[in-house]
Amino acid sequence: MNSSKLSLTLSGIGVKSGSSGAPNLAIVPKLALLAGDLLVFVLIFYLLRGPFLAAPILFLSGPPNAEATWSEVGADWFAVPAIGSCIYYLLAGHYSRRRVLWEDTRQIVIDSFVWCLIDLVVMSGTPRPHQHSLILLTWILAIVALPLMRYLVKRLLILIQIWQVPTVIVGSGPNAVQTYSMFRSEPLLGFSCVLFLELADSEGDDIARAPPMVVNGESVPMLRASTGASGLTSLLGNMHVVVATEDSDLTGIQPLIGRLSKAPLSMHIVPPMRGVPLYGMDVQHIFGREPMLLQVRNNLSRRSMRLIKRSVDLILSSALIALLSPLFAILAWRTLAEDGRPVFYIQERVGLSGKPFGCIKFRSMIRNAEAVLDRWRTEQPEVYEEYLRRRKLRNDARITRNGRFLRSYSLDELPQLFNVLKGDMSLIGPRPLLAREIEEYGDRIAYYTQVRPGISGLWQISGRSDTTLKERAYFDEWYIKNWSLWYDTVILLKTLPEVFARRGAH
């Protein structure tokens, strides 16, 4: 098929080919992100070292005086790590690689820690007593401000339609559908999926229009082409290509991947691998050989990692209990005032190694809640069916007025901090299961019993009570397989906005 017919095929289904004569704006996002990082360092410098903002509270040893020279406030040295960081980020691909915000943030935290140590070592021999506090504050602010600036820059680039890359997904099966959903859920990646390309196992040279793909209610144009079609490379133009076929298609598309690799276009391959640990996976190749070695790690199976997780739980739960003790007293009083004793509701849940434990909550239901639920089995079967499906009810008549307030902000779960302190639970982990839910978890229960259940977890930041038990089981398995201290930090940070937004809280 010649290029003119290809253009007609694309325009007929509402897709613009990347091979148009539009100017190449790929350099603009890189420059914008680089400029954003440089601006952050300039603002941090003036905030902490500018004489007009120097305040005693910022310095452990007192601030420089109002007439301090740039040398005395560290301008001569500060430019080195600031510019050095930006050069490193440029060379490491921070401004060209498309990564999710949290992965960017993780790398920024690591890099800032290294630069902070270098700063402290260099300044340790200088007669500048205020520098150590300045250095610490500089890199603490950088950890917060750099990810925020990159988020704002990318949002601006999306607004002016420079960040998005027209993307075609090669494939039409479950792997392709999940890939599309993944890109839609992470708009900051900038992959705008405009076309599905279904491959036909034939020797022809045909590229034809096919019925559109419907994913989550969205209709996306689709073309059907033979794997040997000579015009595929011209068809894709400058679009980003994501190969997301199924296991059965891998052998047939190898020649196509070879042809696409020779073309001047960018490409991702999404292998149809499910159920393997992804975090920390090490990819190796042997010189002169095709096979790849994928080394997977189960971080939570390592005793050192378990010890770190438990130590963090003990430190944070102790601090939170002390900090929130006045709130505990207020919530206990509200519960007593409305419905009397008991203040707490202790329910048996399944924990580490399948052992039962008493999960503590502020009581949010009437005292005979279980008996009422059992009565609904015959009196209101449709309500009981909803409970069996989600283990939650959107409009549960058993919840007290104070209980609705507690649940809307997940305040009823605060006493579980004592479960964490005791060792029954973790701050972050799988949702604590009832004994009757084990059977519905199926084979995934083997993963669940390897760890302590958590007050919050991946399930809570992914819909909370709006998720089904099957979906929660999937989230729990993914979390356990891919655990890291960084992911725990991300979940903890994302929990607060979810709670205050009250999404899925009932």
Residues 6+ apart with CB under 8 A from 138: 44, 45, 48, 78, 116, 119
Does 423 share its domain with 495? Answer: yes
Residue 263 sits in a domain whose CATH number is 3.40.50
Domain boundary among 117, 141, 159: 159
Residue 448, strand partner residues: none
For residues 85 and 210, membership in a common domain is answered with no
Same domain, 333 and 439: yes
Domain shared by 70 and 144, yes or no: yes
Question: What is the Cα–Cα distance from 42 to 49, expressed in whole angstroms?
Answer: 10
Closest CA to 30 of 96, 105, 99: 96
Assess whether 446 and 339 both reside in one domain: yes
Q: Are 486 and 479 in contact (CB under 8 A)?
A: no
Q: How many CB atoms lie within 10 A of CB 111?
A: 21
Asked if residue 298 belongs to a domain, the reply is no
Q: Are residues 460 and 416 in the same domain?
A: yes
The reply to whether 325 and 423 lie within a common domain is yes
CB 189 within 8 A of CB 100: yes
Region 265-280 average pLDDT: 75
* 38 is a domain residue: yes
Query: What would the two tokens of residue 444 be?
Result: 């995934």
The more confident residue out of 387 and 351 is 351
Same-domain pairing of 483 and 416: yes
Choose the final residue of a domain: 159, 182, 197: 159
Give a yes or no: residue 265 inside a domain.
yes
- 232-256 mean pLDDT: 74
Q: Does a structural domain hold residue 392? A: no
* Residue 370 lies inside a defined structural domain of this protein: no
% the chain with pLDDT above 70? 73
Percent of the chain with pLDDT over 90: 19
For residue 390, tell me if it sits in a domain: no
User: Which range of residues forms the domain containing residue 155?
Assistant: 27-159
- Token readout for 412 is 């009823």
Whether the predicted pLDDT of 20 surpasses 80: no
CA distances from 200 to 102, 204, 232, 424 (A): 38, 9, 13, 54
Distances (CA, A) of 266 to 16, 75, 178, 241: 17, 41, 20, 6
CA distance 450 to 448: 5
Q: Would you state the pLDDT for residue 64?
A: 47
Q: Is the pLDDT of residue 224 over 80?
A: yes
* Cα four-point dihedral sign 240, 245, 249, 250: positive
Q: How many domains does the chain have?
A: 3
Rounded Cα distance between 487 and 279, Å, is 10
What pLDDT was estimated at residue 58?
A: 43
What is the per-residue pLDDT across 158-187, written as a single tens digit (0 to 9) for each? 999 889 888 999 888 888 898 999 898 888
46-50, 73-77, 198-202: least confident range: 73-77
Domain boundary among 159, 187, 205: 159
CB 398 within 8 A of CB 369: yes
Closest by Cα among 460, 505, 504 to 479: 460
Residues 408 and 424 in one domain: yes
Chain centre distance of CA 391: 25
Does 258 share its domain with 118?
Answer: no
Would you say residue 304 has pLDDT above 50?
A: yes
pLDDT at 350: 92
Residues 190, 55, single domain; the answer is: no
What pLDDT digit, counting tens, does each position of 397-436 carry? 677 888 888 888 888 889 999 999 999 999 999 989 888 8
Q: Is residue 394 part of a domain?
A: no
**What is the residue type of 187?**
P
Backbone angles phi and psi of 230, in degrees to 5: -70, -20
What value does the mean pLDDT of the chain take?
78
pLDDT at residue 273 greater than cutoff 50: yes
Lookup: tokens for 417: 């901090």
What confidence score (pLDDT) does residue 210 get?
Answer: 83
Residue-wise pLDDT tens digits, 375-397: 777 766 776 776 666 666 666 76
Quick one: 203 and 144 in the same domain?
no
Instruction: Give the model confidence (pLDDT) of 49-89 as tens digits.
Output: 654 444 444 444 444 444 444 445 455 567 788 888 899 89
The pLDDT of residue 309 is 92
Confidence grade of residue 155 (pLDDT, cut at 50, 70, 90): very high
Residue 296 lies inside a defined structural domain of this protein:
no
Model confidence at 37: pLDDT above 90: yes
**pLDDT score, position 11:** 60
Given a contact cutoff of 8 angstroms between Cβ atoms, the answer to whether 44 and 79 are in contact is: no
Average pLDDT on 307-318 reads 93
Residues 468-504: pLDDT tens digits? 777 888 888 888 888 888 889 989 888 887 777 665 5
